[in-house]
Amino acid sequence: MILVDGCEVKRKYLDIIQEIIQLLERNIHDYIMTTNKRISKEIQALQDNIQGRADTTERLVELEAV
């Protein structure tokens, strides 16, 4: 018969879960930062495109509606 210490098993389980949580947090953070950079670049490109073609306020409103 084998005697198993439940507290030790729980501690190891919690350590493993904590490692998984930290890994997920890092990956989620990296994903959010990458997505944020991509979206910022897209917004900047759109603004640059509109700015180059908008010579009047009316024209700017037309371009933003597109």
pLDDT, tens digit, for every residue of 6-28? 888 999 999 999 999 999 999 99
Please tell me the distance from the alpha carbon of residue 23 to that of residue 9, in angstroms, as a whole number.
Answer: 21
Task: For the full predicted model, state whether its pTM sits above 0.95.
Answer: no
Are 59 and 53 within 8 A, CB to CB? Answer: yes
Domain presence at residue 9: no
Q: Is residue 3 part of a domain?
A: no
Number of domains in the chain: 1
Domain span at residue 59 reads 17-65
43 within 8 A of 35, measured Cβ to Cβ: no
Taking only the tens place, the pLDDT of each residue in 23-50 is 999 999 999 999 999 999 999 998 888 7
DSSP 3: -
Give a yes or no: residue 11 inside a domain: no
